[in-house]
Chain A
């Protein structure tokens, strides 16, 4: 079946540091890949997406590239801010059933 694996554990880093959150996936068909962000007390917000291999999604300084050869969709940001503190979820969906498979999420804490 379709599944997403995110790196274990929370991520704590200082302001202006480089952020990477790893995401790998297993899928049948032609998946679309997503990163969602959940700020404290709020719902999930779509951060970026990529719909085919080698596509790069980007938004608010975050980027992720759909790598079919490594089945990965790692999230990166060059210089994080305190306001980026949130939980980040990698997700996968396959056209036809619209069911998103989410990873467990990573809590990111940015310290001033």
Chain B
């Protein structure tokens, strides 16, 4: 079993839809959970991060972490064509355990 599993999609939705992206993980040492967005031919950029369990909201984006189920989600409300990108989840234990473990990424296309 891989440490982080993420459905690669692709996922295609109409503009205005609610998008749900998910990852599962197996390493209970992970404490920081991140979502990166990667546009075509660009490097990944951090979209949101969450420490431990709970929700975090930033505009149209909401990140959720359920450590008991080892499951994280990213919700995008009122999706826009500019949201079309690959979304990668990433996790780390933090501190001296600084390395990030990434999911494969989900390719999202929002159609106008």
Q: Do A and B bind each other?
A: no
